[in-house]
Amino acid sequence: MARKPRTNERPLPPNPPTAPSKELHTFANPAPGRDYLIQFQVPEFTCHCPLTGQPDFAHFTIDMVPDQLCVELKSLKMYFWSYRNEGAFHEKVTNTILEDIVAATAPRYLRITAKWYVRGGIYTNVVVEHRRKGWKPAAPVELPALPAERGLLG
């Protein structure tokens, strides 16, 4: 008989943690009253060219300002892994990943920068964004530059 999780434990995900999956798990944003940036770096993305079958490699940077939900890292890793044996155009897969993360988390802001490694002598960068309607980021705070302290030597 399966043991019930304790109150401080979350239930186990429905898919094994070591298998590729298109399912993105989420958890409650611990600071929903504040805009803050979560940045994910995915340096080893792999899929296949749908025309030639050759492997394509990319470095993804995901910048996200969450609202009520954050994406769970292990599921994000398994999600990216699920593309390994799929054929996908750079532009399509980058937009699909954005759409899937937006559908799972409904963030205030999400930008994905995909830097595709050279293919036929051409590097491709794809940048896609989502902004929740009506959301505007706070103005950046400009702080004065201060000289470096040198202690007693200077």
Angle at 79 between CA 23 and CA 136, to 5 degrees: 85
100 is known as an active-site residue:
no
Q: Which of 41, 108, 49 has its CA nearest to residue 77? A: 41
Residue with token string 């399509």:
92
For 58-122, the DSSP string reads EEEEEEEE-SSEEE-HHHHHHHHHTTTT-B--HHHHHHHHHHHHHHHH--SEEEEEEEEEEETTE
What are the φ/ψ torsions at residue 133 (nearest 5 degrees)?
-55, 130
Give the active site residue among 49, 63, 67, 100: 49
49 is known as an active-site residue:
yes
Give the active site residue among 35, 47, 56, 100: 56
Burial of 38 (0-12, 13-18, 19+ CB in 10 A): middle
Strand-pairing partners, residue 55, are: 48
User: What positions carry a catalytic annotation?
Assistant: 49, 56
